[in-house]
A = this chain, B = another copy of it.
Amino acid sequence: MLEGEVVSVSRNARPGTRQEILDAAARLFAATGFKGTSLQDIAGEVGCSKAALLYHFDGKDAILAELVAPAVAAFAALDARLAGLDEGAAQLAAVEGFVDLVMRFRREVTVLYGDIPDLLQRPALATVQEMTDRLLDALTGRSPEPAARASALMVLGGIPVVCLEPAGLGDDELRSVLIRSAARALNLPVA
């Protein structure tokens, strides 16, 4: 009551809108993907008009650009740092640096993968999520330990990526390399 006049935030001319837009966009991009999120969706989440978004940003792409800019810059810093190291040092620094990078910019990474959870929710792929959960369980040896789950999740997410781009290996070789790498990551005795 004392400060009713001051507290009452006018609906217009708020200074924090720009950051609110970025936060809302990050949430929506992560949930439904960049293409699956309209300016109207973001405006609704923020509580402003679509035109207000375009006052603060040059367009939908500009929102994405500003959202990921810090992560891209940090990635570039890592890239530059690795360039100055020899093989052995770079290898270790790459692992540590990439883990740090991804953990620090979880939100931005989630945006990058944003379309997948939306796809997985469609009827055609609805069962995949539960099956993936059970597969993760099997990969841990049915252990509930978070550390085991983390390792299994890395394997579960890493294997598909390998198959995305053509490796210079035949299928049989690639198969055995993948299985052995995964087994090492999971601390499994080599088959």
Contact = CB atoms under 8 A, between A and B. Distances in A.
Interface of A: 33-36, 61, 64-65, 68-69, 72, 75-76, 78-79, 82-83, 85, 87-88, 90-96, 98-100, 102-103, 106, 109-110, 112-116, 119, 122-125, 127-128, 131, 134-135, 138-143, 146-147, 149-151, 153-165, 167-169, 171, 173-175, 177-179, 181-188, 191
B142 A153 contact: no
A101 to B, nearest CB: 9
Contacts of A103: 163, 171, 174-175
User: Taking chain A's interface residues, is the majority helix, strand, or loop, or is none over half, making it mixed?
Assistant: helix
Given A157-B161, A157-B162, 13 more contacts: A65-B124, A75-B128, A75-B131, A76-B127, A88-B141, A103-B175, A146-B169, A146-B173, A154-B161, A156-B158, A157-B158, A181-B186, A185-B185
B78 A135 contact: yes
A74 to B, nearest CB: 11
Contacts of A173: 146-147
A138 B102 contact: no
11 contacts: A33-B33, A91-B138, A91-B140, A95-B182, A95-B188, A103-B163, A112-B116, A146-B173, A150-B167, A150-B174, A158-B161
B158 A154 contact: yes
Across the A-B interface, the 5 shortest Cβ-Cβ residue pairs: A157-B161, A158-B158, A65-B124, A154-B158, A115-B115
- Kindly name the residue among A113, A115, A140, A168 whose own CB sees the greatest number of chain B CB atoms within 10 A: A115
Contact of A72 (B75, B95, B106, B124): B124
